[in-house]
Homo-oligomer: A and B are copies of this chain.
Amino acid sequence: MTTIPSLGYSIEIGDLHQGSLSKLLSEEFSTRKKVIICDENTHEHCVSYLTTSIDSLANAEIIVLPAGEENKILEICMQVWEALSEYKIQRNDVIVNVGGGMITDLGGFVASIYKRGIDYINIPTSLLSMVDASAGGKTGVDLGAYKNQLGLFSTPRLVVCDRIFLGTLPEEELLWGKAEMLKHGLIQSKEHWSTLKTKSASEITIDDISASVAIKNEIVKADFKEEHIRKGLNFGHTIGHALEGFFLDNDTKAHGHCVAWGMVAESLLAAKFGTLPMEEFNEIFAHIHSDYPPIKVERSNLPQLIELMRNDKKNNATGINFTTISAIGVSHIDQSYSEEQIHEVLQELFIAH
């Protein structure tokens, strides 16, 4: 069991029976009500493992939400709040969120707002949520078409990442989580990148997960409210979010898939118009190209992609904002490129020939 101290709580990575989960629930919350929030998938694959092997969860109330990012919305939160009120959940009771990022984002938000904030524990069950949502304190939901428009920074009491839950996931899901791990390497640690690029997604170990969480955790501890260095975590996400948004309506692509190719594109920007050596770009391209299916659009779609970047919530008045890299493992925040430069890179990478 690896324990990574974060902002007032710990992230435990390993067998959940060997960490502090059971002790926390049976001591501090011994007389308190427990509520598990999960989705249809984690209800089927993960929740009974918890309720049968952890005594203090045996009688937990269970709130099952429909699966899928499209349910990370305020209307679903209202249903959860009404359920919590009906169960007479009080300020010092506890919520246990069991699921991917949709559940931990929404469940953390629900808990942080209910009666001005009650305690919650996150048990991420996807690789993406383990390496991305476990540290950082971002909670929230979508408002109509606006992603994560509502939310707040808040911290759970405990996060437990147990690899056993990854066994229930298809290889593709692991790949989307691996994209964020690759990002942690590209922005901060050449060593982490080099380790990961030799492995398929299913070969990722507990130690690799711990290394990724540790990188993200150090960044968010230094800049919880994303005022400076935390922006480094947006590498690949300016173009990645634009790709994700573009395909949302008719050919939805996973966040991790879009981020992987967003990192390639932003690396090419850095190689062509910044100081990233072209051989390092080639290394990035080669690995991502070998793992992630290509993403292609029509030439006539490029202006729409750039328009999506222009509306990104990370922008300020001066233009389209990027995190860029000058070498594998060395990142720089608040960089701008011209729309012509972005257009050139998108054309080179994403046009179907």
Contacts and interface: CB of A to CB of B under 8 A. Distances in A.
A116 interface: yes
A278 interface: no
Contact of A114 (B112, B115, B150, B317): B150
Contact of A313 (B91, B140, B149, B152): B91
Interface stretch (A77-85, A194-202, A246-254): A77-85
Contact of A149 (B85, B117, B138): B85
Contacts of A144: 82, 85
A153 interface: yes
A91 B90 CA distance: 32
Contacts of A138: 116
Interface in A145-161: 146, 148-153
Q: Is the interface of A mostly helix, strand, loop or mixed?
A: mixed
Interface residues of A, number: 29
A143 B81 contact: yes
Residue among A74, A90, A152, A317 with max Cβ neighbours from chain B (10 Å)? A152
B116 A153 contact: yes
Contacts of A113: 113, 150-152
Give the number of copies in the complex.
Answer: 2
Given A74-B78, A313-B90, A117 B152 contact: yes
A20 interface: no
Interface string A12-31: 00000000000000000001
Contacts of A82: 143-144
Contact of A140 (B31, B116, B143): B116
A114 B81 contact: no
A131 to B, nearest CB: 21
A119 to B, nearest CB: 12
Contacts of A31: 317
Nearest to A138: B116
Contacts of A149: 81, 85, 114-115
B116 A85 contact: no
Contacts of A140: 116
* Pairs of residues from A and B, 4 with the lowest C-beta to C-beta distance, nearest first: A116-B151, A113-B150, A116-B152, A85-B146
Given A82-B143, A116-B148, 13 more contacts: A31-B317, A82-B144, A85-B146, A85-B149, A91-B313, A92-B316, A112-B152, A114-B150, A115-B151, A116-B151, A116-B153, A117-B153, A152-B152
16 contacts: A74-B74, A81-B143, A81-B150, A82-B143, A82-B144, A85-B144, A85-B149, A113-B113, A113-B150, A113-B151, A114-B150, A115-B149, A115-B151, A116-B148, A116-B152, A117-B152
Interface of A: 31, 74, 78, 81-82, 85, 90-92, 112-117, 138, 140, 143-144, 146, 148-153, 313, 316-317
